[in-house]
Structure 1
Amino acid sequence: MKLSAPVYHLKRKAKLLSRQENVRLHEALDRIAAKEGFGSWSLLAAKLSATVTVSELFARLGPGDLVLVGARPGQGKTLMSLALAVEAMKSGGRSVFFTLEYTEKDVLDRFRSIGAELAHFGGLFEFDNSDAISADYIVEALDSAPRGTLVVIDYLQLLDQKRENPELMAQVSKLKSFARDRGLILIFISQIDRSYDPSTKPCPDIDDVRLPNPLDLSLFNKTCFLNNGEIRLQAAS
């Protein structure tokens, strides 16, 4: 979330406004919030509390989680997913990156762009860009993965691109059961529909996920959306 000034500066402005115009502080806070594009100070505060760092996000993940990470192109969803993989390795866990998009060199370059060198992690990271990637392939590849392994799947909408693969709903359901049974953390990178308009909604949400094929998004117990430097995590209700 980008504000015109740090929150403590905005609060100071509200106190000054309250004294100068002889209005109650909550009214002054609401006026300041309105200038920042919010209907009230409480809405501004709620949005601020919803923003998390990558390390805070990783701390909220646990074995069995199925996480959807969504953003429009260029907003950092792949980099953030790789940053989560780094957090997992820092804690001594393993990370696996399945992709139908990138080469190994692409991924290594992206690790370097976030200040991470895989050589420092002693083989805790595994890269797989097989053309055969699907739920069945992933389950087989992770047959011996230890509990707590963080798995990134890049990306959700490509899993059933091949006609011979099961429908997307069946694949995600299978992976959800597998993650729960084996205690893995599965992160699905997801596209956001082109109809998403950041001028009307600062950050995309579950309603903006691009779904060319049917999928019950309640299969994901956590969602994370990015836009303009903001990271928003929401657990399923």
Structure 2
Amino acid sequence: MRLSAPVFRLKRDAKKLARDRSVPLHVALDEVAVREGFRSWSHMMAARPVATLAAQVRAGIAPGSLVVLAARPGQGKTRLGLELAQEAVRAGQRGWFFTLDYTRRDVAALLDEGEATECTVDTSDEICAAHILASTGDAGRGDVIVIDFLQLLDQKRVHPPLQEQLEDLKRHAQATGAIIAAISQVDRRFDAETGDVPGFDDLRMPNPVDLSLFDRGCFLYGGEARLLHTA
């Protein structure tokens, strides 16, 4: 079903409705979605073509960038990350999806029914920056490397601290021209009721890292994707 207006305009309408009626934003969002013919706002967002969103996000990221892709649970960050790798393959590039969280069956389930897994999927328990660099040593300009997810790179003590791993990944992106996107959690203190998309200050980082290593941040909320610079 085609929407009557772009998502950002519908969201703006919902914010105004919430203010005018003094109701929670999620109630207003659901009402707007019902007007569009959906059961709820989340139902409407789930119906959006993720592949189209992935193409738009990828077009906004320069080759050689280290990017963080972040959202609260249920916002579609993992599926969007997978679609970024898929989109690279469709565009004649190469795409890798490294996951410490999903099985191959889980990854396949993220795709639309009948869609093939076109990118290279790696579910090794040994995934870390060194493993990723060794597996993508022949990556080239515009290829896409997705890591699911950032916090799990810091899980094993045998691996270097996350700061060092990010520095290695940053150098790899710059040397090869590939786009490296690390999926990240957003702190549960993020207040979704404000209607804002999260930002760098909302990233859940158990151990301190220099966030300026990231060239861009792609933050999701309510079906909206916003690309931000660290500075």
Fold-level similarity (TM above 0.5): yes
* Aligned equivalent of 1:168, options 132, 146, 162: 162
Match of 2:103 in 1: 103
Structure 1 Cα separation of the partners of residues 149 and 15 of structure 2 = 38
Q: What letter corresponds to residue 54 of structure 1 in structure 2?
A: A
Change (3 A) 1:79 1:33: closer
Kept after mapping to 2: 8 A contact 1:86/1:116 = no
Corresponding residue of 1:22: none
TM-superposed deviation, 1:84: 1.4
Change (3 A) 1:212 1:90: same
| Residue equivalent to 2:197 | 203
Alignment of 1:1-150 (within 5 A): 6=5, 35-36=16-17, 53-112=53-112, 116-118=115-117, 121=118, 125-150=119-144
Q: Which residue identity does 1:228 align to in structure 2?
A: G
Q: Secondary structure at the match of 2:85?
A: helix
TM-score (norm 2): 0.76
Larger radius of gyration: 1
Equivalent position of 1:27 in the other structure: none
Q: CA deviation digits over 1:64-120, x for unaligned, max 9?
A: 11110100111100111112122211111111011101111111121235x7323xx
Q: Which amino acid aligns with 1:35?
A: K
How much has 1:234 moved relative to structure 2? 1.6
Letter in 1 for 2:63: P
How far is 1:132 from its partner? 0.9
Consecutive unaligned residues in structure 2, runs of 5 or more? 20-51
Unmatched runs of 5 consecutive residues or more in structure 1:
11-31, 39-51
Check whether the contact 1:191–1:210 (CA below 8 A) recurs between aligned residues: yes
Match of 1:44 in 2: none
- Percent of aligned positions with the same letter in both sequences? 45
Distance in 1, matches of 2:60 and 2:86, equals 15
Count of residues paired in the alignment: 194
**TM-score, normalisation: structure 1:** 0.74
